[in-house]
Homo-oligomer: A and B are copies of this chain.
């Protein structure tokens, strides 16, 4: 059956079913530098450069509503308190297209974050709002837990607890990513992580992920902390929507 979740989800993707989502919700965690320090300017440039969707806060959705009106918008719900219903209702009222929450999985993760993601998913579905779950084995800092096997397990758990889209870590190479994504039964969008200061490396990962079946990306700091976010977006779109190679994409950065 076609549902509101299908309709909203489609707004996060271009007509080819792929999505370059700019992750731009870091202000909630206190990021306030580079492109994040001039939020509306960065959003305008990113959208002009071809971002299909923006992952941000409800507050930006309101403050920059006019700028954001022709792109998909997902909002961060990581910090919900007690009952997430007020956040979900507010998102629905504002015309948000998707929610997003992190779950820290595995023996060294945070069980409550998994429970909260599942709880939020059930409430979002009652309203027709899709939910992106970002499963991280252990924690962001606990790199030892970020093995391909754990990333795969984490992605599977994200599906099982109610993700409509999985915001998944790239495993580092195509072969392990192909294996890690086998059986992940919801669409996969890869995340970017900290600014690596190496655009070719980021593009290589994006290329590998798309080549192995990811339907898009939700990358933040490697875009907005770059000195020319618009060029990074253009480069990524060569790969995501254009089917180009990393070398093709790198040309956009000159």
Write the residues of chain A forming the contact surface with B, with a CB cutoff of 8 angstroms: 1-8, 10-11, 15, 25, 27-32, 36-40, 57-66, 68-70, 79-83, 86-87, 89-90, 92-95, 105-106, 111-112, 114-116, 118-119, 122-123, 125-128, 152-154, 156-157, 159-163, 182-183, 185-186
Contact = CB atoms under 8 A, between A and B. Distances in A.
B6 A1 contact: yes
Q: Considering the complex of A and B, which 6 residue pairs feature the smallest CB-CB distances, nearest first? A: A2-B65, A7-B95, A81-B115, A93-B128, A86-B122, A81-B119
B93 A57 contact: no
Nearest to A94: B4
A227 to B, nearest CB: 17
Contacts of A29: 157
B86 A123 contact: yes
- Number of copies of chain A assembled together: 5
Given A87-B118, A183-B37, A94 B58 contact: no
Given A5-B1, A32-B152, A58-B122, A92 B92 contact: yes
Contacts of A116: 81
Contacts of A66: 2, 6
A140 to B, nearest CB: 14
A63 B185 contact: yes
B161 A126 contact: no
A38 B36 CA distance: 41
A27 B156 CA distance: 6
Contact of A58 (B57, B58, B111, B162): B162
Given A1-B62, A38-B182, 12 more contacts: A2-B64, A6-B65, A10-B70, A27-B159, A39-B183, A60-B185, A79-B111, A80-B119, A81-B116, A82-B82, A82-B83, A93-B126
